[in-house]
Amino acid sequence: MVDVGTKPTSHREAVACGRIRLAPATLTLLRGHRLRKGNVLVTAELAGIQAAKRTAELIPLCHQVALSHVRVRCELIPSGVEVCAAATCAGQTGVEMEALTATSVALLTIYDMCKAVDKKMVIGPLRLVRKTKTPLTEKEQP
């Protein structure tokens, strides 16, 4: 694990997005909330948030980060679903792994919930869209 103990605390944010391609019939079932496992998009969003909070348990040598906010949004697009996750914290290391993990697990949740009706789903691409680091003011310093 990399020593980040001497790095200054900064406000950090990362956004990651990914897609899953679904068959048109699967999209119709999704839109109509007619899949047997329930509301796919809401479940995927919750799964992504839970995954972001457990990233350090899943990725070896990844620092435990005190997340201040995680947002996961699933949006129907003509070819399937786009998932975007944003993670923020005030810390000494970035939150891109948390955003990427949230996106990945949300996509895997969609896959799991649709696999009974769609055998040709494809996940990808998955990418880091943005990461920022802003120094904290004196007032905000721990």
- Residues forming the active site: 112
Q: Which of 29, 22, 37, 16 is nearest to 87 (CA)?
A: 16
Q: How far is CA 67 from CA 38, 42, 85, 92, 118, in A?
A: 28, 21, 13, 12, 35
Distance of CA 139 to the CA centre of its chain: 31
Amino acid at 78: P
